Structure 1
Amino acid sequence: MHKILITEQIDQRAIDFLSEQGFEISVGTRGKLNTEDALIEALHDCDGAITMLSNPISRRVMESCPNVKVFANYAVGFNNVDVIAAKELGVRVSNTPDVLSEATADIALSLLLGVSRKIVEAESDLRKGKFDGWHPNGYVGVELFGKKAGMIGMGRIGKAIVRRLKGFGITTLYHNRNRIDIQTEQNLDATFTADLDEMLTNIDFLFLSCPLTPETHHIINASRLSKLDPKVIIINTGRGPLIDEAALAESLIDGKLAGAGLDVFEREPEIHPLLLKAPNTLLLPHIGSATRETRFNMAMLCANSVLKILRGENPNLISNLIA
C-alpha cells in the first residue's frame, strides 16, 4: 500500500478520494513541517506527498527520502521546490495551474476597489461611531473608469485580472517575458511594453502577477517606485518578494504613492512593521485562492497527480507536471 503525506489539512473530499484508491494517508499539523528536518522525518516511509508553499522541497529533502516519487505542490507557484534537483533525481513535481486564476483575479480587483475608494478606512470609522452623515470631502477616492493599468506578468492570472479591468473601462499596458498573441491583446484591450521602466511612468494602477525567479525578485524596488506617479496604486497578488516591502512602505508613508493592496508578503507570515503603519493600504493574509470551489479543485488536482504517478501512468499525459 502506498503511503501519502499531506503536510496540512486540505479539502476532506480529496483525502477521502485518495483513501478510496487504497492509499494510506497521513495529514500533518499546520506549521510543523516547514523545515527540512521535519519534512525528512515525516516523509521517511512515504511514496508521495501533497505539499504547501511553506514546505521546503529541497535537494536534501529529496535525496533523504528516495522513496518519494511525487510532490504535488498545493499552489500554482513552486518557488519552494528545487525543480532542477527534482529533474536530476527523477522525482515528479506538480502544481495547480488554471484552477485558481479566477479566484485570484477576483481578489486583485477587490484590493483595487478597496484601496481606490478608501473602503477600509470608511468602514472602520463607521464602526467607531465617526459617521456623522454624508460629507462633501469625506473618503474621496478615485474612479476606475478611463484609467490605465500596468500589468507585470501576463500568464493565466494576469489575463484574468486584465479581463476584469476591461469591464471597468480600464486599458492595460503589460510587461511580460514574451508578447502574447495579437488577438488576445485586442480582446483584453492590452498593449505590450518591452521597457518596464517606460511602462511605470504612464499608468494609474500597477498589478504584479508574475512568477518569483531570481530575475523578478524585487522587480519593484526603490528605483522603480520612484518612477511611479504619486497617484499610482500598487496591487500584488503574485509573490511577496516581487516588491521591496521596506521601500514600498517608505513610499506610502512619504506620500509618494496613493496606496497599495497586498495579498502576499516578502517574508510570510511576517508583515513589515512599516506596512502596518502605512496609509491607504489593504493587507490580506494570502487569500487569493480562498474560495470553496478553488480549494476543492486545487486539492483534487494534487490528489490526481499523486494517483497517476504512483499508478505508473505516462507522465507526458499529466498536464500539470513541472518536473
Structure 2
Amino acid sequence: MPAERLSVVVTRRLPEPVETRMKELFDVELSEDDKPMSREALVDAMQRADVIVPTVTDTIDQILLSRAGDRLKLIANYGAGVDHIDVHTARQRGILVSNTPGVVTEDTADMTMALLLAVTRRIPEGLAVMQAGRWDGWAPTAFLGGRISGRRLGILGMGRIGQAVARRAKAFGMQIHYHNRRRLRPEVEQELEATYWESLDQMVSRMDVVSINCPHTPSTFHLMNARRLKLMKPDAVIVNTSRGEVIDENALTRMLRAGEIAGAGLDVFEHRHEINPRLRELKNVVLLPHMGSATVEGRLEMGEKVIINIKTFADGHRPPDLVVPAML
C-alpha cells in the first residue's frame, strides 16, 4: 500500500512547471489568485498541512507559529532570505525551515550592476525623455553621468552575491573593497583583488559606490543608519539589492533630497511595497519592484530546490537546505 502523500500548501503562484511537478509528488493546494495570504489564512494552512511553502511576502512570526497545528513539520521557503520567518520559534516547536540558497546569486549580482550603471549613467532620465518624445538631438553637456571605471566600490556583505558583484565590478575596472562579519580567505581576496575593511565607518567614508549585499538580521537592521549615511561622500552612490531594512529609508530620502548623497539604486525597501512617496519623486534615484531574482531560470531553480527539500523530508531525511538558528 503506497504511503500517504504529504499535504502541502503553497501561498503564492509559482512557475507552471514547478506547480505541475508538485501536483505529481504531493497532495498540494496551490494559490489561485496569487495574492498574499491573510494572517488568518496562513494560520488555517499551518493547522491542516504537513508543509507550507511561503515566500518573502508571508510573515511567519512567533504569534502565527504559536497557532500552528501539530501536523506542520516543515516550512519550505521559496527564496533564500528567511528574515520573514521566526526560525528560532519554529525549531522550538519542532518545525524545520528550509530555503533556496545560491540559486539567485548571479541574477542578483547582474541586477546590482544594472542599478549601479543606471544611477551613475542617468539611464532612467534618458529613457523618460525618449518615451515622452522630448529629445531634440545630441548635445555635449546633456545627461552627463559618471564613469565607473576606477571608482571604489564598497561591498557590505561578501557572501555568494557580494563576491559575484565583486567579479563583475572588477571586470568594469572598479576597485573592490568590502566589509564582512568574517574576512575572506587570502586566496579569495587575491582572486577578487579585494581590500578588507574591519571598520565599516572607515570604508563607507571612502567609497564612490556602496553596495548592500548582506541579509536582514537583528544585527544588520539599519546598519546604514543616518549617522553612517552621513559618512558617505556627497558624490557617492548607494545600491541595495538585498533587504530594505538594512538602510534607514527616511534618512536616505532626506539626504538624497538635500544632495548629501549623489544617488541611489534600490530594488528593495524598508516597508516592502509601501515606499516613501518623497523617494519616488527624486530624479537621482532608480527604483525597481524587487526584480533582483526575477529570471525564468532562477525562479524555476528555486522551485526545484523547494521540491527537493520537501521530497527529502518526506523520505525521512534532513532537507539539504535546512536553515538552523546558528546560520542567522
**3-state SS of the aligned residue for 1:261?**
strand
Is residue 252–residue 279 contact of structure 1 (8 Å, CA) maintained in 2?
no
Cα drift, residue 34 of structure 1: 4.3
Cα drift, residue 49 of structure 1: 1.3
Is 1:321 paired with 2:322?
A: yes
1:48 corresponding residue in structure 2 = 51
2:141 corresponding residue in structure 1 = 137
2:9 corresponding residue in structure 1 = 5
Matches within 5 A, 1:36-75: 37-63=40-66, 64-75=68-79
Is residue 246–residue 274 contact of structure 1 (8 Å, CA) maintained in 2?
no
2:257 corresponding residue in structure 1 = 253
Q: Deviations over 1:30-49 (max 9, x none)?
A: 334142x2201133221111
Mapped to 2, the partners of 1:95 and 1:7 lie a distance apart of 15
**3-state SS of the aligned residue for 1:25?**
strand
**3-state SS of the aligned residue for 1:191?**
strand
Is 1:151 paired with 2:155?
A: yes
2:209 corresponding residue in structure 1 = 205
TM-score between the two structures when normalised by the length of structure 1: 0.95
Cα drift, residue 86 of structure 1: 1.7
TM-score between the two structures when normalised by the length of structure 2: 0.94
Mapped to 2, the partners of 1:34 and 1:174 lie a distance apart of 40
Matches within 5 A, 1:1-323: 1-21=5-25, 23-28=26-31, 29-35=33-39, 37-63=40-66, 64-313=68-317, 315=318, 318-323=319-324
Mapped to 2, the partners of 1:310 and 1:321 lie a distance apart of 14
- Structure 1 residues 235, 34: CA separation in 2 closer, same or farther (over 3 Å shift)? farther
Mapped to 1, the partners of 2:38 and 2:284 lie a distance apart of 33
Cα drift, residue 306 of structure 1: 1.1
Mapped to 1, the partners of 2:165 and 2:70 lie a distance apart of 40
Is residue 204–residue 231 contact of structure 1 (8 Å, CA) maintained in 2?
yes
Mapped to 2, the partners of 1:34 and 1:248 lie a distance apart of 31
Q: Deviations over 1:176-196 (max 9, x none)?
A: 000011111111111110100
**3-state SS of the aligned residue for 1:201?**
helix
Mapped to 2, the partners of 1:261 and 1:222 lie a distance apart of 18
Mapped to 2, the partners of 1:90 and 1:101 lie a distance apart of 30
Mapped to 2, the partners of 1:279 and 1:3 lie a distance apart of 49
Amino acid at match of 1:108: T
Identical columns (%): 37
Cα drift, residue 54 of structure 1: 1.6
Cα drift, residue 133 of structure 1: 1.1
Mapped to 1, the partners of 2:282 and 2:249 lie a distance apart of 11
Cα drift, residue 14 of structure 1: 1.8
Amino acid at match of 1:319: P
**3-state SS of the aligned residue for 1:54?**
coil
**3-state SS of the aligned residue for 2:161?**
helix
Mapped to 1, the partners of 2:18 and 2:125 lie a distance apart of 39
Mapped to 2, the partners of 1:296 and 1:120 lie a distance apart of 29
How many pairs are equivalent? 318
**3-state SS of the aligned residue for 2:206?**
coil
**3-state SS of the aligned residue for 1:154?**
coil
Mapped to 1, the partners of 2:259 and 2:38 lie a distance apart of 37
Cα drift, residue 257 of structure 1: 1.1
Any stretches of 5+ residues in structure 2 without a counterpart? none
Amino acid at match of 1:2: L
Any stretches of 5+ residues in structure 1 without a counterpart? none
Mapped to 2, the partners of 1:286 and 1:117 lie a distance apart of 21
Structure with greater contact order relative to length (CA < 8 Å, sep ≥ 6):
1
Is residue 205–residue 234 contact of structure 1 (8 Å, CA) maintained in 2?
yes
Mapped to 2, the partners of 1:60 and 1:230 lie a distance apart of 43
Amino acid at match of 1:50: V
